[in-house]
Every structure is written in C-alpha cells, then in structure tokens.
C-alpha cells in the first residue's frame, strides 16, 4: 500500500501509510475510495487516504470477531505490556505526531507537543496499570456465596473528532484494550493523518492482528455503518450533539449496542470579586483561545462580578489581542488556523449575529487571511443571545456581569449543555458551594481545563453521558456478571445429596 512523505517540524520528513488499517495490514478501501486532506494554514493539499465504505467496516468487524476469540483469554499482563509499549512509541515519535496534528488540524505544534501527545502517553500508562486489576466483589447471600466479575463487551468502536484527535482516540483505546475488548477506530475525515501514523505504531508495538483496526472515512458512510452494525456492541463517540443523537438512534434501532457520548459544551467561567484577577484573566483567556476555542470544554460564557467588570474587560481585551497568527509549526506563532473553510465561515457567522444583536464588541471580530479568525470578545451579552446559548467552537467569548452568587449560579445552569465550568474565587467555602450547585460533569477552581488521566471527564444534560479518563471510564467498557453459588447443607457429617 502506498505511503505519503510529509514535511513536519523543521522540515523533518514523515512517512504515513495511506490505507485502511485492518487485521494489521494497510489496505485500499472498496473501489479505491479516497479522501483528500488539506493543510488549513495554507489550503495546500497534503495527501489522500483511503476512505472506508460499508464493506470495509464489515471486513474490520470480521477481523475483530476473529481476533476477540484469541484476545479475550490473553493474560492481563500482556495487555499491560502492549499498552505500555504503545505509550513508549508515541513518546518516541512525539515530534512526528505533533507535526501531523499541526499540518492537518491547525493545532499549534508546541501545544500538541506539550499537551496533546503527553496526555495520550499518560493515559495509556494509566490504563495499562488497570489492565490486571479488574477485580469484582465477593458477596454473602443466604445459603451460599456470590461474586461479581467484569467481562469485556467484545467488538467495540470509537468515533473520534478532529479537534484533538490523537488524545481523544487514546481516551477510548486505552480503557477499551485494558479491559480486554477489541476496537475499531473511525478517525475524522477532516484530520486523519495522526491515525495513519498511530496504526503503524500499533503494528510496531506488537498487537495481534484484528485487535485494533483503524479506518478513515466519512461519518455518513463509515460512521453510519459502525453505528448500525449488529455485531458491534459499543460505540464511544466524541463530537456534536446532533451526531450523538443519530448514533443513539441507530443503536436503538439495531442491536441496542451500548453508547457513551461526550458531546458539545457551553462552559461558564465565573469570576468573583475576591478572585486573583491576574490568574482569572490568564485562565479565562486561555479557556476560549486554546486551539482557537475548538474545544468542547471551552470557557465560552464568562460571568464577571459587576464590581470588577469594567476592569476585567479592559485587561481581558489586552490579553485577547496579543496574537501572532501564521504557520502553526513555527514557535513564533501563537494562533493557528481553524480546522477548515466550513469552520471559518461558521465562526464568522456567529460574529455577525452577535453584532446584529447589539452586543458590545470588545475586541476582534475580524476575518484574517485564509482560515484564521481573530480572538473575539463581546461584552454585555444577554442570556437569550445566540452567542450565549449555542456552541460556536471558535475563539468567541460572550461576557456578562452579575451581582449575586445565586444569580450567577442560575445563569451558569441556564444552558442545555453541562460539560465543564470554571470558578475563580479565594473563598474556599464559596468554591465548594458553587461547584456543588453547577450542573456540569467537571468544575475547575482557579484554573481551566485541568485534564488528567486519573480524573474522569464527561458531561450531563445534552453534553452526553459516560466518562473518559479515570477509573470510572472502565465501567463503560465492561459487563458486570454475577455468579451465585448455593452451598448445600451438611447432613450427618456428610454433604447432602440431591
């Protein structure tokens, strides 16, 4: 199967296979279907990769089914070793993987190298540590004994997004494999190159054929075929709420496969008057500009106490305006492009709507060259304005003031989403009180984001259900089986006979 040679950080050549990765082989898609991938920074075509069709999904399922029969009884220590080896290889090739995310997704090279890739490595090592610790419980029952054991689901699938593709893929892969499942990964059609490199590392790590298959493909073709396949027992999805609903519907109409969903977000960041203002400014600005705001946990709604509101706006404007946009591979760049032309147009559409609604433009709102969008903030945004309610997935902050704690809790919860929130205060009692009252799956205090491999991440309401990361993630990849044993009574010193 053909390979492409791409130019990464400082011109380093990177070889990537162009085929689907099925049964530890790189193969062409049915009828040689391909997808082109483009560098969003300069609109130049990078290469094409094979695009999975329904027949290819079926082929991957067959490979997974055959592999599971051999993989299920494999000793847990083997899973520990393979996951650890994959972590070592990703760490070794960190420059290549960060480069691919940069040229394919517009992610800043330094951001990927310092956060995305290490987070993937840490997640693999964390779940490798769980692979041999899947213990159940021993339970006393009348006239007997019961125990539980956790068993793998079997053939599972992960459909991953384009905004942090390597990291989120590993969020699915690590617990799935640690618990003894086999996995089909559908990489995003917009940013597939990391997956082609990851497949080569999986092969090098020594995973048996069919245990992990990686398919690039369109959501409406490969994604739909995965969602509807009767032999796939679980789909883990990160992406939009709209697509999450489609996957859930497909699961309900076919084999009732298990589904976990990490969907959209409209995260509130709340700045109280006793907060360390410099710290709050740093994290709130980062929370809406990191990866151009193309993060489901972005802090896109910022509520500031009215006593510090104008001062906050003045300083926030300065921080948002300190940008140098350009090639995301360069160290001098601190703002890369958004991921695609479509994403660029969508973000600018929201800027137009905010202006029409009469929100005060604090900074930005400009259409820069190519797929670049300036960091933008609107002040005095009403609760019912579209930029306060809808997920934009871009560097657009909606800022409003508040007077009381109860008022801002109501505003923070006034959203169909419930993924992440941030609180800034030096009052520890207030921090606990507000964190408990906010309806999100994650709350950070005096920081934003703060993801770790041992802390569960996921949402509530229309941000989905199920958890990535942490011990809680393991539950989504296993079935709990109860075994009950009736202990026969002893009669005349001998065991009773039936």
Q: Are 281 and 476 in contact (CB under 8 A)?
A: no
Please tell me what DSSP assigns to residue 29: P
Q: Are 2 and 27 in contact (CB under 8 A)?
A: no
Would strands 34-38 and 442-445 be described as parallel, antiparallel, or unpaired?
unpaired
DSSP for 262-310, please give it: E-----EEEE-TTS-HHHHHHHHHHHHHGGGG-STT---EEEEETTTHH
- How far is Cα 106 from Cα 483, in angstroms, rounded to an integer? 51
Burial bucket for residue 485 (CB in 10 Å: 0-12, 13-18, 19+): exposed
- Both tokens of residue 466? 């199920």
Length of the chain: 498
The set of catalytic residues is 262, 296
DSSP character at residue 230: T
- DSSP, collapsed to helix, strand or coil, labels residue 4 as strand
List Cβ neighbours of 219 (8 Å cut-off, separation of 6 or more): 159, 186, 189, 243
Chain-centre distance of CA 457, in angstroms? 9
Phi, psi of 162, rounded to the nearest 5 degrees = -95, -10
Q: How many Å apart are CA 379 and CA 286, to the nearest integer?
A: 17
Backbone angles phi, psi at 291, to 5 degrees: 50, 35
Whole-angstrom distance, CA of residue 59 vs CA of residue 482: 34
DSSP state, 378? E
């Amino acid at each position: 199967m053909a390979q492409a040679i791409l130019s990464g950080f400082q011109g380093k050549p990177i070889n990537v296979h162009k085929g689907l990765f099925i049964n530890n082989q790189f193969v062409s898609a049915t009828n040689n279907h391909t997808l082109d991938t483009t560098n969003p920074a300069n609109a130049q075509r990078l290469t094409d990769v094979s695009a999975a069709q329904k027949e290819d999904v079926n082929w991957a399922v067959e490979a997974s089914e055959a592999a599971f029969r051999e993989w299920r009884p494999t000793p847990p220590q083997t899973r520990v070793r393979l996951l650890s080896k994959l972590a070592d290889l990703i760490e070794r090739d960190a420059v290549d993987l960060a480069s691919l995310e940069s040229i394919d997704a517009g992610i800043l090279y330094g951001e990927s190298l310092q956060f995305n890739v290490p987070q993937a490595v840490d997640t693999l090592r964390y779940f490798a540590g769980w692979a041999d610790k899947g213990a159940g419980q021993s339970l006393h029952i009348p006239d007997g004994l019961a125990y539980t054991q956790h068993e793998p689901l079997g053939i599972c699938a992960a459909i991953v997004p384009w905004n942090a593709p390597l990291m989120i893929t590993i969020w699915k892969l690590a617990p799935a494999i640690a618990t003894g499942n086999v996995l089909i990964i559908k990489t995003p059609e917009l940013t597939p190159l990391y997956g082609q490199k990851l497949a080569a590392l999986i092969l090098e790590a020594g995973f048996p054929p069919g245990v992990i298959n990686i398919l690039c493909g369109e959501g409406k073709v490969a994604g739909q075929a995965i969602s509807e396949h009767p032999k796939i027992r679980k789909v883990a999805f990160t992406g939009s709420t709209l697509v999450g609903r489609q996957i859930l519907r497909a699961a309900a109409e076919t084999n009732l496969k298990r589904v976990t969903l990490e969907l959209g977000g409209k995260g509130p960041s709340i700045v109280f008057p006793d907060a360390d203002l410099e710290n709050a400014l740093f994290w709130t600005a980062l929370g809406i500009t990191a990866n151009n705001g193309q993060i489901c946990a972005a802090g896109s709604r910022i509520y500031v106490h009215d006593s510090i509101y104008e001062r906050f706006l003045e300083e926030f404007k300065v921080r948002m305006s300190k940008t140098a946009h350009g090639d995301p591979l360069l160290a001098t760049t601190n703002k890369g492009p958004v991921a695609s032309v479509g994403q660029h147009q969508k973000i600018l559409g929201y800027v137009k709507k905010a202006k029409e609604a009469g929100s005060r433009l604090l900074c930005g709102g400009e259409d820069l060259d190519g797929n670049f969008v300036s960091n933008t903030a609107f002040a005095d945004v009403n609760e019912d304005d579209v930029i306060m309610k809808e997920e934009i997935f871009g560097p657009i902050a909606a800022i409003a003031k508040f007077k009381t704690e109860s008022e801002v809790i109501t505003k923070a919860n006034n959203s169909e989403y419930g993924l992440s929130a941030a609180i800034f205060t030096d009052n520890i009692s207030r921090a606990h009180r507000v964190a408990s009252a906010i309806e999100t799956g994650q709350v950070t205090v005096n920081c934003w984001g703060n993801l770790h491999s041992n802390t569960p991440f996921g949402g509530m309401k229309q941000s989905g259900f199920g958890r990535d990361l942490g011990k809680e993630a393991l539950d989504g990849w296993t079935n709990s089986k109860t075994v009950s044993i009736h202990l026969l009574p002893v009669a005349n010193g001998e065991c009773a006979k039936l």
